[in-house]
Amino acid sequence: MSIVLLAKSLGLSISTVSRALNGYEDVSAATRERVVLRAKAIGYRPNPSARRLGAGKTLAIGVILPAAGSTGQAVDSMYSSLLGGVVTEIEPAGYHLLASMQAKHDAARETALFENFIRGGWVDGLLIVRTRVHDARLELARAAKMPFVAYGRTESDQPYAWVDTDNEKAFRLATTRLLDLGHRRIALINGPEEYSFAQFRRRGYVRALASRKLKPDPTWMLHGDLTEGAGHELCRSLLIRRPAPTAFVCATDSMAFGAIAACREAGLSIGRDVSVIGYGNSSLSAFCDPPLTTMEHQVFENGRYVGRALLQLLRKEIQPADVHYLEPVVLVPRKSDGPAPQ
Amino acid sequence: MSIVLLAKSLGLSISTVSRALNGYEDVSAATRERVVLRAKAIGYRPNPSARRLGAGKTLAIGVILPAAGSTGQAVDSMYSSLLGGVVTEIEPAGYHLLASMQAKHDAARETALFENFIRGGWVDGLLIVRTRVHDARLELARAAKMPFVAYGRTESDQPYAWVDTDNEKAFRLATTRLLDLGHRRIALINGPEEYSFAQFRRRGYVRALASRKLKPDPTWMLHGDLTEGAGHELCRSLLIRRPAPTAFVCATDSMAFGAIAACREAGLSIGRDVSVIGYGNSSLSAFCDPPLTTMEHQVFENGRYVGRALLQLLRKEIQPADVHYLEPVVLVPRKSDGPAPQ
DNA sequence: TTGCTTGACAAAAACGTTTTTGTCTAGCCC
DNA sequence: GGGCTAGACAAAAACGTTTTTGTCAAGCAA
């Protein structure tokens, strides 16, 4: 009954107070000021639930966090920074972030959860993270006319809003660097292949090889979870081949650390006998031994971009097709790679 | 108008339909079943906004994510797993997680944000993370009669619900292990001292020393951000002292990795010349070189515990004083520590 | 029979806003 | 002076539920 009291204390009608507070033009400047002042004075805060019902808006952006790895017991830590960036932008506009989580790596359950999210009227907009090559979520969101921004691209014949890292360029750069160092047997330790980022990375890797007339060997492009364990396992399986790779490009720093462990177990010196490049420029990468050559990835900033884009989409200031932000990628050279051994 | 249509299609009143769906006793079993069936058939989903307004509940749990480090540009990655655990539990009960973020390390702004969260009617309950020794947030939540669970203890004369790790025991175990290995000059590389966990860890360290009649030296207990950079810096400042420490107990694995880097730069062999113990059992700790001796910390599981406690508090099935869960801590011995050098 | 209780449902109020539509006055033009 | 417009505010409807209160018949005891 709060706005009622406020209106009463001002001798105005509820509607005038509401319109004054929401900045409508049909309230005189003097009245508006009086209302705003009094509202502040008595500490009036519009009830969000009532507001939502009245305006038909939820003032919330939804996101479904993907579980990391196959155990489903953790969330990829990258997302906390992404969400931090999003919240930083949407919070001042009065929006909040409604987080759900996908318990397991299960596309069907994920779709159901997603549909509930959309259809249930929980949110005004969506953040779709970790896109797949073919991603049913985009179609669902579109069908429900729910504004969204995808973090990562996907295959779609319709325009849609996306923010992505230039994965292809990143892996082209990394692979080219290794080629320039004289490596010819370069393996790719990639993430799960259903995710678009893995496809882009693979493409970058393949193109770098192709530009030197080298034929990429599919058995040297492996996929696994984005964990140290998977990196370790995949690297090991590559090292026992003859001839073995002399260099590894990894989908994340975590995988790179796993690969490094495997190389070390095989008695190889990192940066001399074998080269490893990671991705993400995690805070650790500068402090490990040897410091990891990796690719810089500004997750927090990307989150901010996503947040701004979502707000503009909600206000219909822009169209989905206007949101195509490809984060430039920078290689951070350190000591985990070096000239190819003879 | 959805429930209206559903009611109409059944020839029942809105109230009966509502009560049937919400499991009230004054609806006959037959009618209830008929309603539930039809609701499912026509895909009826109660509008959350209306529900919130009608019931005076928001069906949301609020959390304010603390920024990591002093830059405020990232969120501590630990929290994504904690939130994952919380969501896993509250989701099936129809609750969602509303996330906000604290842009900078600024207690005043944090309090304002927090108050808005509580007073604004955004949430039914709160998750208060990274508690301080004196934490204004608890008083605010209590004053607003908002149920909450604190992740981490604090100094308070009132009972409150908390879930915490046994930080004291963890650091007692770690320090004792080093003492057993013959170390006498053990330094503590701790987190920011305003946080309660840092106090508990310090206490564990001090008590372990005291139990061997060793007098803890305050200049050997340093505080810093929970980052590799801080761990590196603090460790360096300790290594130039004479006599220098032969062992380091660190507040997080990240700090430990930083400390290890500093030791290596000083030409020390980890596990031989110097011992380092971390905390958190991060996925990396098993794969680094040498594998890191650390303490196991089940963040996801703790999140689940928090989620369950929150639900029970909201349903008033338990009192805040009933929620006192101290996660047992286990030391995971690996290779980053060893006998004290002569 | 009367009165009371109980079971099953319905009517209506309440939740606190926003939005739509309405009213009234003053000013202006012809 | 009549009609029109614009400005400023008010009344009332709408949003879609939940909750409170009401109704009515059947059953039962005295």
A139-149 CB burial, b ≥16 within 10 A, e <16: ebbeeeebbbb
Q: B95: how many CB neighbours lie within 10 A of its CB?
A: 23
Distances in whole angstroms, Cα of residue A247 to Cα of each of A169, A177, A263, B250: 18, 11, 10, 33
> Are B331 and B178 a contacting pair, CB within 8 Å?
no
Mean per-residue pLDDT, B311-322: 95
pLDDT given at position B36: 96
pLDDT given at position B203: 98
Question: Burial, B198: exposed, middle or buried (Cβ in 10 Å; 0-12, 13-18, 19+)?
Answer: buried
Q: Which nucleotide's C1' sits nearest to the alpha carbon of A19?
A: C18
Determine the distance between A26 (CA) and C20 (C1') in angstroms.
Answer: 14
DSSP state of B155: -
Asked whether residue B26, judged by its CB, lies under 7 Å from any atom of the DNA or RNA strand C, the reply is: yes
CB proximity B53 to A under 8 Å: yes
H/E stretch holding A188 reads strand A186-190
Judged by CB atoms closer than 8 Å, whether chains meet at B50 and A48 is answered as no
Cβ-Cβ contacts under 8 Å, A79 against chain B: 80
Mean per-residue pLDDT, B313-329: 95
The candidate with the shortest Cα–Cα distance to B101, out of A95, A163, A101, is: A95
Cβ-Cβ contacts under 8 Å, B78 against chain A: 77
pLDDT given at position B105: 62
Judged by CB atoms closer than 8 Å, whether chains meet at B121 and A76 is answered as no
Asked whether residue B27, judged by its CB, lies under 7 Å from any atom of the DNA or RNA strand C, the reply is: yes
Supply the mean pLDDT for chain B: 93
Hey, which residues 86-125 in chain A have their CB within 8 Å of chain B? Answer: 87-88, 91, 96-101, 103, 116, 119-122
The minimal CB distance from A81 to the residues B53, B74, B84 is found for B74
Give the span between the Cα atoms of B182 and B83, in whole angstroms: 40
B24-36 CB burial, b ≥16 within 10 A, e <16: eeebeeeebebbe
CB proximity A42 to B under 8 Å: no
Q: B23: how many CB neighbours lie within 10 A of its CB?
A: 9
Whether residue B68 has pLDDT greater than 70: no
Give chain A's domains with CATH numbers: 2-46 (1.10.260.40), 60-165+299-328 (3.40.50.2300), 167-296 (3.40.50.2300)
pLDDT given at position A75: 64
The minimal CB distance from B284 to the residues A67, A84, A257 is found for A257
Judged by CB atoms closer than 8 Å, whether chains meet at B284 and A284 is answered as yes
Q: pLDDT of B5-64, one tens digit each?
A: 999 999 999 999 999 999 999 999 999 999 999 999 999 999 999 999 999 999 999 998
Question: Burial, B219: exposed, middle or buried (Cβ in 10 Å; 0-12, 13-18, 19+)?
Answer: exposed
Percentage of chain B modeled with pLDDT above 70: 96
Mean per-residue pLDDT, B279-294: 95
Q: B156: how many CB neighbours lie within 10 A of its CB?
A: 15
Closest-approach residue (CA) in chain B for A291: B261
Judged by CB atoms closer than 8 Å, whether chains meet at A91 and B80 is answered as no
Closest-approach residue (CA) in chain A for B66: A84
> Are B265 and B294 a contacting pair, CB within 8 Å?
no
pLDDT tens sequence for chain A (342 residues): 689 999 999 999 999 999 999 999 999 999 999 999 999 999 999 999 999 999 999 999 999 888 765 555 566 778 888 988 999 899 889 899 998 887 666 667 777 888 888 888 899 999 999 999 999 999 999 999 999 999 999 999 999 999 999 999 999 999 999 999 999 999 999 999 999 999 999 999 999 999 999 999 999 999 999 999 999 999 999 999 999 999 999 999 999 999 999 999 999 999 999 999 999 999 999 999 999 999 998 999 999 999 999 999 999 999 999 999 999 999 999 999 999 998
A vs B, Cβ pairs < 8 A, gives 166
CB proximity A49 to B under 8 Å: yes
Provide the β-strand partners of residue B96. Answer: B60
pLDDT given at position B67: 73
CB proximity B325 to A under 8 Å: no
CA distance A55 to chain B (A): 10
> Are B135 and B146 a contacting pair, CB within 8 Å?
no
The minimal CB distance from B74 to the residues A84, A122, A228 is found for A84
CB proximity B3 to A under 8 Å: no
Cβ-Cβ contacts under 8 Å, A260 against chain B: 287, 289
Distances in whole angstroms, Cα of residue A85 to Cα of each of A117, A179, A314, B34, B284: 22, 36, 18, 47, 25
Q: pLDDT of B234-253, one tens digit each?
A: 999 999 999 999 999 999 99
B130-154 CB burial, b ≥16 within 10 A, e <16: bbbeebebbebbeeeebbbbbbbbb
C-beta within 7 A of nucleic chain C, residues 6-65 of A: 14-15, 18-19, 21-22, 26, 44-47, 50-51, 53-56
Hey, which residues 264-293 in chain A have their CB within 8 Å of chain B? Answer: 264, 283-284, 286-289
Q: pLDDT of B196-222, one tens digit each?
A: 999 999 999 999 999 999 999 999 999
Q: Which nucleotide's C1' sits nearest to the alpha carbon of A53?
A: D15
pLDDT given at position B66: 81
Q: Where are the alpha helices (DSSP H) in chain B?
A: 2-10, 14-21, 29-41, 48-55, 78-90, 107-119, 136-143, 167-180, 196-210, 228-239, 253-265, 299-314
User: Which pLDDT band, with edges at 50, 70 and 90, does B74 fall under?
Assistant: low
Asked whether residue B321, judged by its CB, lies under 7 Å from any atom of the DNA or RNA strand C, the reply is: no
Judged by CB atoms closer than 8 Å, whether chains meet at B283 and A229 is answered as yes
Residues 6+ apart with CB under 8 A from A14: A3, A4, A7
User: Which pLDDT band, with edges at 50, 70 and 90, does B153 fall under?
Assistant: very high
Q: Which nucleotide's C1' sits nearest to the alpha carbon of B48?
A: D17
Residues 6+ apart with CB under 8 A from A66: A75, A76, A79, A102, A105, A129, A130
pLDDT given at position B339: 98
By C-alpha to C1' distance, D13 is nearest to A54
